[in-house]
Amino acid sequence: MNLPKLHGVHVPHRKNTADKKAVRMPAPASVTIPMSMHIGAPADPVVKVGDTVKVGQLIARAGGFVSSPVYASVSGKVKRIEDMLMSSGRFMKAVTIESDGQQAVLEGIAPPQVTDFQSFVNAVRDSGVVGLGGAGFPTAVKLSVKDLNQIEAVIINGAECEPYVTSDTRTMLDDVEWIAEGIALLQKYLKAKRVVIGIEANKPQCVKAMKDMAGSMKGVEVMALPALYPQGGEKVLIYHTTGRVVPEGKLPIDAGAVVINCTTLAAIAKYIKTGMPLVEKVVTVDGSAVREPKNVIAPIGASMQSLFDFCGGFKSEPKKVLYGGPMMGIAVPNTDFPVMKNTNAILALDEKDAVLPEPTACIRCGSCVDACPLRLMPAAIEAAYNKRNVDRLRELHANLCMECGCCAFVCPAKRMLVQTNKLAKGLIAADNAAKKAEADRKAREAAEKAGKEAAVK
């Protein structure tokens, strides 16, 4: 398959924990579990303060089709149900459980009955699994394909291209059998004729492990991809494994593809085999301020601080703490924030790594254009945003930006291009909302006028 020049950037890998098998931390004194750890509607709590819960017990049902149920990750007593400030800046309801230290499992947990495509999708929905690579999109929704004949390839995402993050790496090394089980489920219920496992070539151990597994499986292939960020981006991965382009405003299925993260797939297989829903997560704990970087198996809802403590605390004062990697990660104001379903890493960076350089004037070098994996023009988007020219932002396809950060990474002037792109997308959304509101107003006025005229007649 001959593809045009690959766009992206070569980032420092810093995979310090790639050879460190995940270790389980003790249950913390309490966990705080947000009701929104996924894209879509928040889950609705079904427990109340004072209730005793056990591991695997439902504490919140899905709040709609695009939503996901939430389960207790520790056994103990519900202490609080209240709004908490999320890293996004929004308030969201969260359930705090005080652990009894027993990690008692809910009685009656058993594998779900899966006999056909619909019962498979229902089981995935009941598992509470969402995109565990960071996206957080409810996996059952992704798998709810109306016409299975549309699926030409299922792509297993093992690229893990962000610096530091190695939780997916450990899945591909330590949970091979669960990935194999998951692929068998996809082949059986999604009728997947072609399964492609995409892995960056700088992970030779993972490539070998997956090739050894795939050797005995029909219709499964492993592709060692260039170590080029953002190789793990959904649209980028589809293009580099199939040569297909996902059209603007369309979904991967419109290009004949379904993409699923390798850890997400393993979690689905575990649930269907054991009946235990998603209650814990492998999290890479690393960064220049962390004393003992590790991959940690943590209960969902455990505080960041409890994971840092499990890793020996800090060797220097952290100046920035992130959910995720340094390219697309989200900074938090303190370490009280909890591990969520889609938390693949938490990083604590010292002052040297955390301080941003002062931006200077754009020199029109075009580096940002050359680096953008989606062929956008970040400098032009920045100029249009500064002028609040929404029509121009639409012409420049600003909404296509995946906020990968390649443009800002290569910019010699250190301009905050990815942040501006995000603001530009918000400006377009606000303009769309205003136009819709105006159209709705005119429609109501027209209906009222027509009603009055009809009454006169």
Please name the residues in contact with 433: beta carbons below 8 A apart, sequence gap of 6 or more: none
For each of the chain's 457 residues, which pLDDT tens digit applies?
Answer: 444 556 899 999 999 999 999 999 999 999 999 999 998 999 999 999 999 999 999 999 999 999 999 999 999 999 999 999 887 778 999 999 999 999 999 999 999 999 999 999 999 999 999 999 877 899 999 999 999 999 999 999 999 999 999 999 999 999 999 999 999 999 999 999 999 999 999 999 999 999 999 998 999 999 999 999 999 999 999 999 999 999 888 899 999 999 999 999 999 999 999 999 999 999 999 999 999 999 999 999 999 999 999 999 999 999 999 999 999 999 999 999 999 999 999 999 999 999 889 999 999 999 999 999 999 999 999 999 999 999 999 999 999 999 999 999 999 999 999 999 999 999 999 999 999 999 999 999 888 888 887 877 6
Q: Which helix (H) or strand (E) holds 198?
A: strand 195-200
Backbone angles phi, psi at 340, to 5 degrees: -115, 175
Query: In a 3-state reduction of DSSP, which class is residue 127?
Result: helix
How many whole angstroms separate alpha carbon 105 and alpha carbon 38? 24
How distant is the alpha carbon of residue 377 from its chain centre?
25
Walk me through the domains of the chain, giving residue ranges and CATH numbers.
110-274 (3.40.50.11540), 362-457 (no CATH)
Is the pTM above the cut of 0.95? no
